[in-house]
Each structure stands twice: as structure tokens, then as C-alpha cells.
Amino acid sequence: MIPAKVRSRVLVTGNKGQVALALAALDLPDLEIVALGRPDLDITDRESVERTFSSVRPDIAVNTAAFTDVDKAESELKQAFAVNRDGAANVASAAASMGCPIIHFSTDYVFSGAKPTPYREDDQAGPLGAYGRSKLAGEEAVAAANPAHAILRTAWVYSPFGRNFVKTMLRLAGERDAINVVSDQHGTPTSAAFLATAVAGIARHILADPTSTDWRGIFHVVAGGATDWAGFAEEIFRQSAKRGGPTAAVTPITTAEYKTAAVRPSNSRLDVSRFQTVFGVEPRPWQDDVADCVGTLLGNTDNTMGANL
């Protein structure tokens, strides 16, 4: 009798986030996703984290839990650092104590946005606000706590789940004929479904050779291509119109005309060359994943979101 293939167990922190929900939605015969969040797992509570690791006994951990409200971070600095730095350190430390590698999510907001070209992993960080500072501190804490780490910086995440730009635009299009959208901030809309399949592929790569050094360190992981927020909105409405959904005219405005508590980087484009080289992935154009997400939200999709990993 041939023994059944053993599934590797992946502990995902932050079970209500977009990437965690996208991971849980994947059909992965070789990976068992165990996604936990509060009240069962509070990453700011070291004992809660250690109990969870002892109980779940994962083969690999994925930390998606984060304080992600960029503007609130300016006034709730203590909480942002408690989650994004100290909580990340707790997860990385607990994983290290069990000899467990960790995949940790970070952000384009660790950069100032002043560079005119896409950011590489080794470019100088320079966050403009509290959220970016807390996430950069989290990167440093994870690296210090667990040498077996892969830190994934991503940007402009959206999905059919939770609150995000795609859902906001579709909602506003049902209420207004025209919408003002910033056009001088540049980056890459990145589907949580793409990130979920990327994580699955990275996890397989790590588990196949956990002692290798090629997968360790920082990686930039976004979809293919780039745009600005106004261009993102226009593509959402183009895809919605094709499916008979809500649409609106987009009026481009400047960052100065759209006041927020936190300053955003004007350039959030990330160079994914290292990710492509190590993991052998060619991300799909961002427009393709937007089409799939809009199709899902409008009930008309072929369910092809994600990367081929």
C-alpha cells in the first residue's frame, strides 16, 4: 500500500485579512492552511503566540496580521508598533524556537517614494509616516528573531474580501457619476489571490530545501506593470462596464488636493526581479487580475486569479 502524502502545515496569522482569506480559499492538496486570529491568536500577546505554535506545530508560518490603517497609525502610533513590530517579533521568535521558517508581509510604505524608478530590495528605506516606520521596524524585528525568514514587500492590495480600493470604487460608482481620484501616486495594484498563490509557491520552495539561503531575506512581490490610482479606477470601471456593472467618470486630481493624515509615497513601484529569479514566477499584468476580481464581485468570472506557481 502506498502511504498517503503528508500535507505540510502552514500557520497563517491574521485570519480576517485579505491575503489570509485568499489563502484559505485555495485548494492545496499538499498544504494545510491553519489561519488564526483574535481572539484565538493575538500576536501582541507573546504567550498567546507561543501557545498557538505549540498547539498547531506548523511546518512554516505566514504572518499576515498587521495594523494596516495608514492614517490611523499617525494618531495610534503605540498600537501600530505593538502589532507591526512587536507582534511580528513574537511570531518570528515563536517560529524560530520550533525551527520553523517564517514568511512575513511588509509594504511599499517603507520607502519615501522619491526614487524615479522601481525600488529594489537593497534600496535605502525612508518611510514617510508612522505606518511605514512600524512596518520597517517589523522587518528588522523578524530578521533579528528568525534567520529563516522571507519578507515580502507588496503594494496596493485588493480582493473580493474586506475593504479595499476596488470595492470602494464600485460602491461609489453606484452613488456618483464622477469620482475624484489621485493621479500622481504610482504603483502596482496587486491581487490578494496572486499573493496567496505566490505564498503557496514560496512555502513549497522553502519546505523543499529549508537549509538553502536563496529564499531568505527580502523580496518585492507585486503584479506585472504599474499605473496610478486614477488609472486603477479607470480599469475597474472598464471591467465593470463590460459586465454590466456600475461605472463612473474618473477626474484625476493631485495628492495636494486630497488631504489625508498620513503622507503617501509618490512612487510605490517595486522591482520584482529577485522574486522572479528565485521562484521562477512571471507575474500577470495587473489589469488581468483586476478583471478577475471585478468579475468575482459582480458574479461573472472564470476564477483564474493569481500566479502560476
User: What digits encode the pLDDT tens for the residues 169-182?
Assistant: 999 999 999 999 99
The CA–CA distances, whole Å, from 70 to 7, 73, 125, 151, 263 equal 37, 5, 17, 20, 9
Count: domains in the chain: 1
Provide mean pLDDT across the span 95-122: 97
Q: Is the pLDDT of residue 217 over 50?
A: yes
- The answer to the question of residue 253 being in a domain is no
Angle of the 229-242 helix axis to the 286-297 helix axis, nearest 10: 50
Catalytic residue among 109, 119, 131, 158: 131
Find the CATH number of the domain harbouring 195.
3.40.50.720
CB 111 within 8 A of CB 126: yes
User: What digits encode the pLDDT tens for the residues 184-209?
Assistant: 999 999 999 999 999 999 999 999 99
- The answer to the question of residue 176 being in a domain is no
Domain carrying residue 157: 8-162+189-225+267-284
306 band by pLDDT with thresholds 50, 70 and 90: very low
User: Which comes out higher in pLDDT, residue 162 or 228?
Assistant: 228
User: What digits encode the pLDDT tens for the residues 139-155?
Assistant: 999 999 999 999 999 99
Output the average pLDDT for the chain. Answer: 93
- The answer to the question of residue 234 being in a domain is no
pLDDT at 309: 35
Q: Is the pLDDT of residue 78 over 80?
A: yes
Provide mean pLDDT across the span 81-88: 97
- The answer to the question of residue 33 being in a domain is yes
Q: What residues form DSSP beta bridges with 224?
A: 285
Distance CA 107, CA 151 (A): 10
User: Which comes out higher in pLDDT, residue 163 or 238?
Assistant: 238
- The answer to the question of residue 122 being in a domain is yes
pLDDT at 5: 52
- The answer to the question of residue 179 being in a domain is no
258 is a catalytic site residue: no
Distance CA 169, CA 154 (A): 21
Q: Is the pLDDT of residue 303 over 70?
A: no
Q: Is the pLDDT of residue 3 over 70?
A: no
- The answer to the question of residue 133 being in a domain is yes
Distance CA 94, CA 209 (A): 21
pLDDT at 7: 85
- The answer to the question of residue 87 being in a domain is yes
% of the chain with per-residue pLDDT over 90: 91
300 band by pLDDT with thresholds 50, 70 and 90: low
User: What digits encode the pLDDT tens for the residues 234-247?
Assistant: 999 999 999 999 99
Q: Is the pLDDT of residue 162 over 50?
A: yes
